[in-house]
A = this chain, B = another copy of it.
Amino acid sequence: MLIVGSPVSPYVRKILAILHLKNIDYELDPITPFYGNDEFSELSPLRRIPVLIDGDLVVNDSTVIAEYLDEAYPEVPVLPKGARQRAQARWIEEYADSRLGDLCIWGLFFPKIVAPFVFRRTPDEEAIAKVTDTELPIALDWLEARAPAKGFLFGDMVSVADLATACPLRNAAIAGWTPGPARWPKVAAWLARIAAQPCYARTIDFEPAILATRPEGRRAALEAVGVKVAETSFGTDDPRASIMLR
């Protein structure tokens, strides 16, 4: 099984955590976020990461990939039982992928981390303040009303909804914003419980290999933390070849 996509994408991080939780062996093609070659367009017509390649099957979109992994490898499930609980899990995943993704990636991580270093663009501090002072607090209030007092959203199991929520907030944390425990005590404690799960913690170990390593050293750095790096690459250094994150 091959995963194409950088582990600093929240959507890739979600899928890697699920693979770890399900104990599925995989190779990673850690293409630079925002770049992909022409073959990548064939693979991913919306130019999103991650892409999963399982034999001759190509699966796009992290939500679809998570559903596929849960059906093809059901031993450790990431969706709860029962149509109603599954609908709630899927909706919280969608909320996190869409709303938290927009705010944490396009509102914070991209302007504060990617744009200055990759594109030499100065961040728009007013736009960033709107995200941290108004928009993220509204989203976090919504989450606080739904956060579990103990364990995870659906009891003891770590679900795709728990992981999907933690992953974009990790990118916000890299960009310097975390939900304060005074205003959001249940969310802060819940995120800490998710962060302590080995399936998720392992994805955090991959980050320095991308964020603190020059492009030519990244594959070796990933191998040094135990990642099986794919020989093939769908990446490119052509900055015109921008890809979406999800």
Binding site for B on A (CB under 8 A): 45-46, 57, 59-61, 63-65, 67-68, 71-72, 83-84, 86-87, 90-91, 94-95, 98-99, 142
Residues of B within 8 A of A94 (CB): 60-61, 63-64
Residues of B within 8 A of A46 (CB): 95, 98-99
- Give the residue name and chain of the B residue nearest to A59 (CB): B87
For residue A3, give the distance in angstroms from its CB to the closest CB of chain B.
14
Known: A98-B46, A99-B46, A142-B45. A86 touches B67 (CB 8 A): yes
For residue A54, give the distance in angstroms from its CB to the closest CB of chain B.
8
Q: List 26 A-B contacts (CB under 8 A).
A: A45-B99, A45-B142, A46-B95, A46-B99, A57-B84, A57-B87, A59-B87, A59-B91, A60-B94, A60-B95, A61-B94, A63-B63, A63-B90, A64-B87, A64-B91, A64-B94, A65-B87, A67-B86, A67-B87, A68-B83, A68-B84, A68-B87, A68-B90, A71-B87, A72-B83, A72-B84
Residues of B within 8 A of A72 (CB): 83-84
Residues of B within 8 A of A91 (CB): 59-61, 64
12 more contacts with CB within 8 A, not counting A45-B142, A59-B91, A61-B94, are A45-B95, A45-B99, A46-B98, A59-B87, A60-B91, A61-B90, A61-B91, A63-B63, A67-B90, A68-B87, A68-B90, A71-B83
Task: Compute how far the CA of A45 lies from the CA of B98 in the bound complex, rounded to whole angstroms.
Answer: 11
Residues of B within 8 A of A65 (CB): 87
Task: Compute how far the CA of A83 lies from the CA of B57 in the bound complex, rounded to whole angstroms.
Answer: 11
Task: Kindly report how many copies of this chain are found in the complex they form together.
Answer: 2
From A59, A71, A83, A87, name the one whose CB has the most chain B CB atoms within 10 angstroms: A87
Residues of B within 8 A of A63 (CB): 63, 90, 94
Contact indicator A86/B68 (Cβ below 8 Å): yes
Residues of B within 8 A of A84 (CB): 57, 68, 72
Task: Compute how far the CA of A65 lies from the CA of B68 in the bound complex, rounded to whole angstroms.
Answer: 18
For residue A113, give the distance in angstroms from its CB to the closest CB of chain B.
25
For residue A87, give the distance in angstroms from its CB to the closest CB of chain B.
4
Task: Compute how far the CA of A2 lies from the CA of B201 in the bound complex, rounded to whole angstroms.
Answer: 42
For residue A81, give the distance in angstroms from its CB to the closest CB of chain B.
10
From A68, A83, A90, name the one whose CB has the most chain B CB atoms within 10 angstroms: A83
Residues of B within 8 A of A90 (CB): 61, 63-64, 67-68
